[in-house]
């Protein structure tokens, strides 16, 4: 893709692991402004929180293995699903791909030495950690862990005695971190592209991070102010969401979803970018419909910002609003489907190489399609009345968030692992882990869809005997899924310690990160490359 100068002289330069910068030991990490080190800081933090969320989810499922209180009471269960939601949404799913892989690879893929504001980048990580700690402290102090669900719906969040204010303050700080990351990526993409890196030559991963960053900048402030208002309400009783003082809880829901629906696109768009980058490499074929994929990402970001009301069909908003939001929701399906068809068309007649990253991408396409189609069912007004607040909803969004974003993240782990760490994991074990994950995932979450269809309400710690078989199946599926996770991460960890040395370009990728050594040197490129080809020209 580019002339990176003399390969030998680049190889002679030391990797960013050996070049510690001006600090030593742990400080060379937590005070670094190198985008790759910051990416790895997020890598470690996000995986830590991911496993905390998994453990909470495991215990929730265990409670549901049989009717009645099995291992916990209702209050504990309420706290568990709230914390599972807060941790997974705000600490894992929203930041994961932009902060780990966006930080590590966006500058390299556009041919830059770092992001536009390296120090603000470090500040983002510190704010992320501060927000995470605030949320964690809220669990153990002031009346106990939050029990409102991750949505903090008023008026319950104003009345409950548990430590809601601290948790929402943590979410506010996390939002700040997210906005700064977004600003960094948008500015980097505009200002730091290498000569010849035109908008039509940007890797689709960069396009997806770019669209995501815009949503982060434009939507996150709204949840920021909403959280501040909950905070003010709890401490000063200003009354803006309290019906006793004339406030309107439905306005809270509007403000909350004005951010939180676009946030679901913050979650899924980067994963789509990864799939768009990985599929052509393993099909040995130029991506089908480059501009269609790039533009559909922006379209998802734009239209997706106007559909928040579909979370509120039974809230009492006007029928006209219901119809409008339902229509707009259907419209989002179009750009999403464009992407799916383009990935399939890229695979068509390609010389497919079945390596782990592609396996995860194929799982993404399959699971995301189920998630997307179930989304259309609940996006229609009549079925929504039946499905609202049932297990169907968590079933649907786990297909999108875990099946889509999660498997996209796993694809990224397996695709960029050799570049990030300079070593290779055991490929057969990775494929085995993929199979176990896929089987466990579907047993688990398809049961949830069926439970919801039959009327099992979500967020209950107990259920009627008729749901017994499906709940047992779901819990069984969760064990398989967790086994798959353990195998996958153990394999990656083993690869990190003992894996064979990876080549610079093990997959034959054409984007810029594959043209530099593994792991990359501190400044990525000895001299800024001049780009002469597109990101998917494999010749």
Partner 1 sequence: MDEHKDYTGSKLGMWLFLLSEILLFGGLFILYSMYRYKHPVDFHLAAWELSRPLGTLNTLILLTSSLTMAFSIASLRRGDYRISKLFIIATIFLGFLFLGIKTIEWGAKIEHGIYPNSPRLLGRSKGEILFFGLYYSMTGLHALHILVGLLVLSIMFFLMIRGRINKDHCVPLENSGLYWHLVDIVWIFLFPLFYLIT
Name the one range near partner 1 by CB under 8 A: 67-75, 139-147, 150-158, 229-237: 229-237
Q: Which of 173, 255, 370, 393 binds partner 1 (CB under 8 A)?
A: 255
Residue 207: partners with Cβ closer than 8 Å, 6 or more residues away: 273, 293, 294, 297, 298
Q: What are phi and psi of 390, to 5 degrees?
A: -105, 180
Q: Which of 64, 135, 164, 179 binds partner 1 (CB under 8 A)?
A: 179
DSSP states along 189-239 = HHH-PPTT--GGGS-HHHHHHHHHHHHHHHHHHHHHHHHHHHHHHHHH---
Q: Please name the residue ranges forming H helices in 27-117.
A: 27-30, 35-63, 74-86, 96-97, 103-109
Q: How far is the CB of 237 from partner 1 (least distance, A)?
A: 3
Q: Does 116 bind partner 1 (CB under 8 A)?
A: yes
Q: How many whole angstroms separate alpha carbon 70 and alpha carbon 72?
A: 6
- Binding positions for partner 1, 480-509, rule CB under 8 A: none
Q: Does 123 bind partner 1 (CB under 8 A)?
A: no
Cα dihedral: 280, 285, 286, 288 (round 10): -80
> Do 533 and 510 meet the contact criterion of CB atoms below 8 Å apart?
yes
In this structure, what token pair is assigned to residue 334? 């179009």
Q: Does 522 bind partner 1 (CB under 8 A)?
A: yes
Binding-residue pattern over the window 95 to 114 for partner 1, x denoting contact by CB under 8 A = ------------------xx
Q: Which of 65, 123, 130, 251 binds partner 1 (CB under 8 A)?
A: 251
Q: Does 266 bind partner 1 (CB under 8 A)?
A: no
Q: Does 220 bind partner 1 (CB under 8 A)?
A: yes
> Do 98 and 209 meet the contact criterion of CB atoms below 8 Å apart?
yes
Q: Does 245 bind partner 1 (CB under 8 A)?
A: yes
Q: Does 232 bind partner 1 (CB under 8 A)?
A: yes
Q: Which of 54, 162, 183, 443 binds partner 1 (CB under 8 A)?
A: 183
Rounded to a whole number of angstroms, the CA Rg of the chain reads 23
Q: Which is closer to partner 1, CB of 115 or CB of 510?
A: 115
Q: Which is closer to partner 1, CB of 69 or CB of 237?
A: 237
Q: Does 117 bind partner 1 (CB under 8 A)?
A: yes
Name the one range near partner 1 by CB under 8 A: 40-48, 127-135, 235-243, 405-413: 235-243
Q: How many whole angstroms separate alpha carbon 463 and alpha carbon 69?
A: 10
Q: How far is the CB of 264 from partner 1 (least distance, A)?
A: 18
Q: Does 473 bind partner 1 (CB under 8 A)?
A: no
Peptide bond into 339 cis (omega under 30): no
In this structure, what token pair is assigned to residue 338? 């464009």
Number of residues this chain uses to bind partner 1 (CB under 8 A): 41
Residues that bind partner 1 (CB under 8 A): 113-114, 116-117, 120, 179, 182-184, 186-187, 190-192, 217-222, 224-226, 228-229, 232, 236-240, 245-248, 251, 254-255, 258, 522-523
């Amino acid at each position: 893709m580019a002339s990176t100068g003399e390969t030998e002289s680049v190889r002679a330069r030391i990797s960013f692991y050996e070049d510690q910068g001006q600090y030593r030991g742990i400080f060379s990490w937590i005070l670094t402004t190198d985008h790759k080190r910051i990416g790895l800081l997020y890598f470690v933090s996000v995986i830590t929180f991911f496993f905390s969320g998994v453990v909470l989810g495991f215990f929730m499922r265990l409670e549901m293995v049989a009717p009645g209180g099995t291992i916990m009471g209702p209050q504990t269960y309420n706290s568990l699903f709230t914390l599972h939601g807060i941790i997974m949404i705000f600490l894992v799913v929203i930041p994961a791909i932009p902060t780990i892989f966006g930080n590590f690879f966006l500058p390299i893929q556009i041919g830059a030495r770092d992001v536009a504001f390296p120090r603000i980048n470090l500040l983002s990580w510190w704010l992320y950690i501060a927000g995470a700690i605030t949320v964690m402290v809220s669990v153990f102090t002031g009346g106990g862990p939050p029990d409102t669900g991750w949505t903090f719906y008023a008026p319950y969040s104003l009345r409950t005695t548990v430590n809601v204010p601290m948790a929402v303050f943590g979410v506010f700080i996390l939002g700040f971190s997210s906005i700064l990351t977004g600003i960094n990526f948008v500015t980097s993409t505009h200002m730091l592209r290498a000569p010849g890196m035109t908008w039509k030559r940007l890797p689709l991963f960069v396009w997806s991070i770019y669209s995501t960053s815009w949503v982060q900048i434009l939507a996150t402030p709204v949840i920021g102010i909403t959280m501040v208002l909950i905070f003010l309400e709890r401490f000063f009783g200003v009354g803006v969401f309290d019906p006793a003082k004339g406030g309107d809880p439905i306005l809270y829901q509007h403000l909350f979803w004005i951010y939180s629906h676009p946030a679901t696109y913050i979650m899924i768009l980067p994963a789509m970018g990864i799939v768009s980058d990985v599929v052509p490499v393993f099909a040995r074929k130029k991506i089908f419909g480059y501009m269609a994929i790039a533009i559909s990402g922006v379209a998802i970001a734009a239209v997706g910002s106007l559909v928040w009301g579909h979370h509120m069909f039974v809230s009492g908003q006007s029928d006209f609003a219901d119809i409008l939001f339902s229509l707009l929701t259907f419209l989002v399906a179009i750009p999403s489907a464009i992407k799916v068809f383009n990935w399939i068309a890229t695979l068509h007649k390609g010389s497919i190489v079945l390596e782990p990253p592609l396996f995860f991408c194929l799982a993404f396409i399959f699971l995301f399609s189920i998630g997307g189609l179930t989304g259309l069912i609940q996006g229609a007004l009549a079925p929504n009345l039946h499905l609202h607040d049932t297990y169907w909803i968590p079933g649907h969004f786990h297909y999108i968030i875990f099946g889509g974003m999660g498997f996209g993240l796993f694809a990224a782990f397996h695709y960029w692992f050799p570049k990030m760490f300079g070593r290779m994991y055991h490929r057969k074990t990775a494929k085995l882990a993929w199979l176990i994950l896929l089987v466990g995932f579907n047993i688990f979450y398809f049961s949830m869809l069926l439970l919801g269809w039959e009327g099992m309400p979500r967020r209950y710690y107990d259920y009627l005997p008729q749901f017994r078989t499906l709940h047992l199946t779901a819990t069984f599926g969760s064990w398989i899924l967790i086994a798959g996770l353990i195998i996958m991460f153990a394999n990656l960890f083993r690869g990190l310690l003992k894996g064979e040395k990876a080549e610079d370009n093990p997959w034959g990728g054409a984007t810029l990160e594959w043209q530099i050594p593994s792991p990359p040197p501190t400044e990525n490129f000895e001299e800024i490359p001049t780009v002469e080809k597109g990101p998917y020209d494999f010749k």
